[in-house]
Amino acid sequence: MQIPDSHGNLAPPPGARVLVAMSGGVDSAVTAALLVERGYDCIGVTMRLVPEPKEKSPFEPCCGLEAAEDARRVCERLGIPHEAHYAVDRFDRDIISNFVEEYRAGRTPNPCVRCNRMIKFGALYQRADELDRPFIAMGHYARIQPRGDRVSLRRAAYLAKDQSYVLAPLMQAQLRRAWFPLGEMTKAEVRQRAIKLDFRTANKPESQEICFVPQNNYREVVDDRGGAPKPGPIVNARGEELGRHNGLYHYTVGQRRGLGIAAPEPLYVIGLDMQRNAVIVGYRDETFHDTFSTGLLCWGGLPRTEEPFEALVQLRSHHDPVPGTVYPEPHGTRIVLRQAESAITPGQWAVLYDPDGFVLASAMVKKVHRNVAGAEEEAKSLTQSR
């Protein structure tokens, strides 16, 4: 059972057996060092999620051989055991294949959210059970704190690195075994601690890519695994054809560049029509909407309810949350924002926070409701002010 530390964050009891997820980066290295210093019984485990490339490539995924070697060296330096846990087939089935399917279905997935729930807090939890490790520590910038009778993710104290968004769908059983020791630290403090420990990972650059997508070229991954793209029309909201596209999943909602259409004002992708195989484009004011529907909610710090509730709604990893009202429905939710937002994207996640940064619930965006009364006028005023 977790107990609150001096900051109110839930942590394993002293001396507990903890599996430390080791990515090979500075954050997990310092996490392991902190646990060893505090007397926990630790083992470092590195997930190996993608096969080694047949030829040497400049692309080194965070779950590749080099990362595993860096993690092993850190564990050796700390005097704790280390192992590499292979979950290549499961990652391929549950994450990469789903990523391709989502793009081909006209949605824009966030594989990191899915991976956290199904792999890092799924397959890795299974390995923790096999190793008789009741708790798992990770180098994420987030906090876990009590909220009533439940436990809840809370934004990191250092908001610039907060990762609660990509962790939001974790369930109560997962959260009650997790620990994020970096939740109160800044990135500079973490790097400084790594330098003092003389870790070679101290100045290692952070990966900005999806681990299985070299150079952020997701289209190549979808092309390779999903077959040849099917060209089709680019149309405006009235259905008038303005040009041609070279494959529906080559476009994402909110995209402005690469449309190849001359217009008096910049055009943006405002929707993808699977039935017509059409990319729908519009001007800036047409990208704003204030109402959308989601799939089933993953309840966090808020107990399940059928009553509407207020929340701060974050729509992307790097999006300033906006106030809205959440209306639970039998098969999902309807969310109405107080101000229209641009590029609400099916496939992304809506994470619902309270004013103190606690995650109340989260769900995947399914459908954006267009032509909501008043949204167009509000969008125009927002466009002029931004």
Question: Has 211 been annotated as catalytic?
Answer: yes
Report whether 248 contacts 272 (CB < 8 A).
yes
Tell me how far CA of residue 40 lies from CA of 15, 16, 31, 332, 339, in angstroms: 4, 6, 12, 41, 48
Residue 336 token pair: 């109405």
List 42, 75, 112, 211, catalytic entry: 211
Maximum Cα–Cα distance for the chain, whole Å?
67
Q: Residue 74: enclosing H or E segment and its boundaries?
A: helix 65-78
Give catalytic status of residue 42 as yes or no: no
Q: What is the DSSP string of 252-295?
A: -TT--TT-----SS--EEEEEETTTTEEEEE-GGGGEEEEEEES
* 3-state percent helix, strand, coil for the chain, nearest multiple of 5: 30, 30, 40
Query: Which is catalytic among the residues 42, 62, 75, 115?
Result: 115
* Calpha distance 166→112 (Å, rounded): 6
| Helix ranges (DSSP H) in 105-158 | 111-115, 124-130
Q: What angle do CA 177, 179, 182 make, to 5 degrees?
A: 170
Instruction: Give catalytic residues, as residue numbers.
Output: 115, 211
